[in-house]
Amino acid sequence: MVPVLSDKEFTGFSRMIFDQAGIHMNPSKKPLVSGRLTKRLNHHGLESYGDYLNLINTDGAERQIAIDLLTTNETYFFREPKHFEFLAQVIAPELRNRPNVRIWCGASSTGEEPYTIAMTLAESLGHMRFDILASDISTRVLETARKALYPIEDAKDIPREMRIKHCLRGVGPQEGWFLVDKHLRDRVQFEQINLNGQLPEMGPFDVIFLRNVMIYFSPETKSQLLPKLSQFLRPGGYFLISHSESLHGVTNQLQMVKPSIYRKPENTT
């Protein structure tokens, strides 16, 4: 018999994901929670979601699995392409003479976004003197990202010239897949980072991408997070969020260049 997720149990899981990741889950997410966690109940032979909630409250490894399952990781190559046009046409020319360009992709998911950034920089900078830190709270998606191996149909949004230069089509056992070339993989470092936890020493960055993340955060969480992130951005550095987001009323440390694109003033530290 399939257990039913009670309102009390859902509240427990929503509190856990908020405490751990700052993600707010409204009651409409109840079917998502029950659907994604059912296999873990079966795996442990548990009879109720309450039993599983008790387990993740005491078992850190299982709690990470639950976080991996409950976080949304929709992504694809060149998602919201206007940002990569801006990166190529505006930001890259400003950074071309910098000895080393540093980018942070703060919600890398399975890697499509940081590899898109890498392809764009390789083309627009005219050199490979750049490093990308790609982070996510989910260990599961980071494992996929490090492999850099994707179904061939996922390459459809990559411009043809970039596909030819930066992607390797699989043959034999890898037929139907493509691999991001090593010269780009070497420029991207993947790390697990919880944006709402203690952030490691890792700055400064010329650009921070944090797209399609803060839409899941409460206003209070966003107002606490932005100052922490801004300190890792160089004066004059850019901060990009998704087109469905805004920083209006959240921070005065970043100035809007255009909707979804912000910049740290030159005269700040």
Just list the catalytic residues: 36, 136
The amino acid present at 176, given as its one-letter code, is: G
Q: Collect all residues with Cβ–Cβ distance below 8 Å to 147 and sequence separation of at least 6.
A: none
* DSSP secondary structure code for residue 87 in this structure: I
Which tokens in the block code for residue 125?
């900078």
Nearest by Cα to 135 from 190, 217, 185? 190
Structure tokens at 234: 């160089």
**Closest among 44, 46, 72, 57 to 12, alpha carbons compared:** 57
Tell me if the bond preceding 204 is cis, omega within 30° of 0: yes
Which of 16, 9, 83 has its CA nearest to residue 41? 9
- Encoded amino acid at 128, one letter: M
Residues shown for the chain: 269
Q: φ and ψ at 95, to 5 degrees?
A: -100, 0
Secondary structure of residue 235 in the 3-state scheme? strand
Q: Which residues pair with 41 in a beta bridge?
A: none
Taking a C-beta distance cutoff of 8 angstroms, is the pair 249, 268 a contact?
no
Give start and end residues of each alpha helix (H) in 167-265.
182-185, 219-230
